[in-house]
Structure 1
Amino acid sequence: MNRHLSDLPGEGEQRDPVADFFARERADIRDLPAGADRWESIVVEARRPVRRSWLPWLAGAAAVVVAAGVVWGNGRGPGTEQAANPASSTASVSTETVATDSPKVGGPSATGTPSSGLTTPSTPAPLPVPNSFDVVSMTNAGGKHLFGLGKATCPKGACTAVIGSDDDGATWTTRASFTTLTSPGPLATPAAPDQLVGIRFADPETGFVYGSATLRTVDGGRSWKPMDVGGRTVLSLETDGSTVWMVTAAKCQRADSGSARGCSGLDVRSLDVTASAPQQTQSLNVSQPVESAWLSMDGADAYVSVSYLDQTTQTPPRRVSGKPVTLVRPQGCQEAGGLWVWGTANRKGGLVAVCQIGDAHASYGVATSTDRGATWSDARIARGLGSTQPSGVWLTAVDLDRFVAVSQGLPTSALEPGGAPTLMASGDSGGTWTRPKTAPGGATEWVGAAGGGLVYALGGGRSYWVSHDSGATFEQVQLRR
């Protein structure tokens, strides 16, 4: 690591906390009168045992003992996803975004008499979530550790920040920010260079941010290093805590014209969570550019679904972990239409499929499987989800009865997204869908179930929503209090 901490894109744009510390120490040096008394005090002080607690935060990450459980995860769901305030002079990027009180040399003691030694500094104070922060992705690392990725405003302009909570969302602090990276939001394909669309953590220390740039952290998000993914764009990244799975594309572009938009050259890559680079697992061999492609986890099983602008084009979902398997189509789903699957948070081997029914209203259908997609229930019309369209439906499943979905919630390569996404919930295996009694007031862009009855929802802004009753009601949680 060089003196600029240039492990991240944008050399020279990050503060070095060690250099900052010594700069403050040099500034605190005072001229003292020479004399025998002064020389004697220096000799006495030099004979004292060395105090090794003068900078405890440098070794803090290495001393952390992690104890986190892995829950059954699904899709982009958690556990299953320094920027400055505009008027602030705080540096825009830091991989160790904390403020420290410098030790003082020769400062007053508790009794008011001068002290000739070093005083132990106070505990470093982490920086708060920026006022400009706009959350676009969340992840649950277990053990009450949550992380978020979002847009922010740095002194030099738009940037992206990572925030974290170690108390299940009661308090949040900024972990790092990247002045050379931006985010188009969760509903846009990352087609431009240096864009991030998601964050996932395998445990409280090891995590990833991804998009047209991909980075990895092993210290809880305080420092990040680029990951070699062969120059490809990562459309989706999920982990079961031990293996990381990615869907990547050779090329993505956004445009108004269907012929000039989408992602092509798709493949699946994976790596052990302790590894530094993924290996290609298989090519998806898609027939034309896709609007979006994503992974969903059911324990250690990883499934890939693909969505096209042309709704008659299809690539059936595949289980890409273990021995790859193409899933069969549920009875009642239109043969020429799309089919997408998600795992459940609480039912091992349980999958939920959304498809096109092909009736007069172009309705969506929902089917369930208890055996990893080997057999399915007949697809039933999902009344309340609206008619099929390229922006599709994003779904998260608590179990095989309780679902929460965002209509028009799939990422798109269009320059201008379609209609506003809408949050809907079902308690009868997808037969009927209604708005939760208490739900986010604006457009919801993403939902994720994380075990038990816990469901997260994002709609942008400086807060997120959480449900403890499987999506029946939601309450708002502020990221900055």
Structure 2
Amino acid sequence: MVNRIYERFMDAADGDMPPSRLTADEVYAAAWRRRQRRVEVWTAVAVVALLVATIVGMQVRKPPAGHEVAVPPTPTPTPSPLGGLPNGTRDGGVVFAAATDADHLYAVITRCPGTDCTTQLLGSDDAGATWTLRSTDLGDPSNDYYVTAPAAGVLYRTVERTDVVESGPVTKVRIPKISTDGGRSWTDVQATTTPVTSVPANGWLECRNIPSQHPCPGLVVVDPATARSAPLATPPGFTVSSVVNVPAAAGFWVEGYDEEKKAPAVAVSTDRGRSWTVHAFAAEPRESGVTAASVDGVTGYAVVSEYHAGKTTRANPTPGPASSTHHVYRTGDAGQTWQRVDSGTALFGNQVDLQASFVARDGTHFVMTVSGWVQQWYVSRDNGHSYEPAGPTGLTPYLGLANAPMFGVVTHAPGLYLAFDVDSVYRSTDGLRFTRHPVRI
């Protein structure tokens, strides 16, 4: 369950923005390096990016080595002095949001009285009408502002801690914490080493919180009833990159890469993680990935993205711009079978990266792409056969400096879709129409 937009934009924003173009290497490689310190997985599908008000990022896939994607000119921001937070972060700005049900919403905000920032957790028990302070100083503001809602009535976050050994190297570890009282108090999750065969009721799957070059170095089961985690005994047989955000009743979905078949893959478990149905998608070249989405656990979409290196000619030894292609697959039987359903024409343009994908309550499929810092929603109302440029009502994609970005959708709880921007949280019961709720205390 991973926040793709949030981490991809944050990771890219951590470095200098090029004045006229952003290379795929810079986005992917920088994010890949920084992803090892933010390896938690959560129940969200891509939430928000804040470039001028706050820039955010998204989890990476394997870097397309040497691939350069031409993008529109972009402004160059000034470095942010605010405690490592993105450029433009301001006092009181929302940097994360979550919900445990339709009424109980949560927002992480920044407090920047001077040049240093802290993060605080606000909560609402009346669907965003009013907000109260729940937790102060969540930790390192550049790392510890992810608060997620992976199960009913449970909030989850991790805190980075530095361990100093007298005669050894300094190491950084991440300590998982849960809250069952709306973020007012937190309990450490104790890691155990004995594998478990299934995920308990109200439990969930996470990526292991260990230093790693890989964004998901193994799956663990978290049990909020005991505040313990343990390795999953029977993970799917491929390299997992993330746990897909789906409602609890939809089972467990994961995505990643099958090293043996050299193909992106999706796995679905309908028995609490005891067994998995795995599908590897035909894709060329090696630099490819998949983004899966489902709302009911039965019907799902997988967008397979391929990245192609720019070609050189004898007359021009400099490689041309890289390109990308995207294909849509659909399942109607919980991942048992997948069929390619797109029309075969160029989807979403040939120099874009996929940022988000979710399924509305009525089965409508939404996809968000990004080219440079410009985002675009696409929608399919015919089971993935065709897509047109349009998004959910009330959510505006980021189009440069003309508006504060707000996008991505979280399916935290049954009947609830969530998004946010620097000022507000946006709720929807159907994934088609969103209502704005300003975050104020």
The TM-score bracket by the shorter chain reads 0.5 to 0.7
Determine helix, strand or coil for the equivalent of 1:392.
Answer: strand
Corresponding position of 2:387:
432
- 1:401 aligns with 363
Does residue 279 of the first structure (1) align with residue 230 of the second (2)?
Answer: yes
C-alpha separation between the residues in 1 aligned to 2:134 and 2:228? 23
The corresponding residue for 1:322 is 273
Q: Is the 8 A contact 2:101 2:414 kept in 1?
A: no
Pairing 1:245–2:245 present = no
Counterpart of 1:146?
105
**1:303 Cα deviation after fit:** 1.5
Task: Tell me, in whole angstroms, the C-alpha distance in 1 between the residues paired with 2:429 and 2:347.
Answer: 23
Q: d(CA) in 1 for partners of 2:381 and 2:374? A: 23
Structure 2 Cα separation of the partners of residues 306 and 400 of structure 1:
27
Q: CA deviation at 1:355?
A: 0.8
Q: Which has the higher contact order (CA 8 A, sep 6+)?
A: 2
Tell me if the contact between 1:208 and 1:217 (Cα under 8 Å) persists in the aligned partners. yes
Give the counterpart of 2:214 among 263, 288, 291. Answer: 263
Q: Closer, same or farther in 2 for the Cα pair 1:179/1:334, shift >3 Å?
A: closer
**How many angstroms does 1:133 deviate by?**
3.0
Deviations 1:58-114 (A, max 9, x none): xxxxxxxxxxxxxxxx95159xx9xxxxxxxxxxxxxxxxxxxxxxxxxxxxxxxxx
Query: Kindly tell me: are residues 169 and 201 of structure 1, through their superposed partners in 2, closer, same or farther at Cα, counting changes over 3 Å?
Result: farther
2:255 to 287, 291, 305: 305
Partner of 1:371: 333
CA distance in 2: counterparts of 1:173 and 1:267, whole angstroms: 36
2:28 paired residue number: none
- Structure 2, unmatched stretches of 5+, are 1-41, 49-89, 160-173, 194-198, 309-321, 397-402
Where 1:338 maps in the other structure, the secondary structure is: strand
Task: Measure, in 1, the Cα distance between the counterparts of 2:338 and 2:307.
Answer: 18
Letter in 1 for 2:203: T
Output the CA distance in 1 between the equivalents of 2:211 and 2:367.
29
Larger Cα-atom Rg: 1
Q: Which amino acid aligns with 1:199?
A: T
- Residue matched to 2:189: 227
Tell me which of 269, 273, 294 is aligned to 2:243.
Answer: 294
Distance 2:345 2:126 in 1: 37
Matched, 1:355 2:320: no
Residue of structure 2 equivalent to 1:210: 158
Mapped contact 1:352–1:400 kept (Cα < 8 A):
no
Q: Residue 91 of structure 1 corresponds to which residue in structure 2?
A: none
Q: Is the 8 A contact 1:448 1:455 kept in 2?
A: yes
Q: Distance in 1 between matches of 2:430 and 2:98?
A: 19
* CA distance, structure 2, for counterparts of residue 354 and residue 175 of structure 1: 38
Q: 1:213 & 1:75 partners in 2: Cα distance?
A: 18
Distance 1:382 1:198 in 2: 39
Within 1, Cα distance between the matches of 2:349 and 2:415? 25
Give, in whole Å, the separation in 1 of the partners of 2:102 and 2:215: 38
C-alpha change, 1:144 and 1:250, in structure 2 (3 Å) is same
- How many residue pairs get matched? 312
Residues 395-426 of structure 1: CA distance to partner in whole angstroms, max 9, x if unpaired? 121247312333249xxxxxxxx634444443
Aligned to 1:55: none
Task: State TM-score, norm by structure 1.
Answer: 0.54
Partner-residue secondary structure (3-state), 1:263: coil
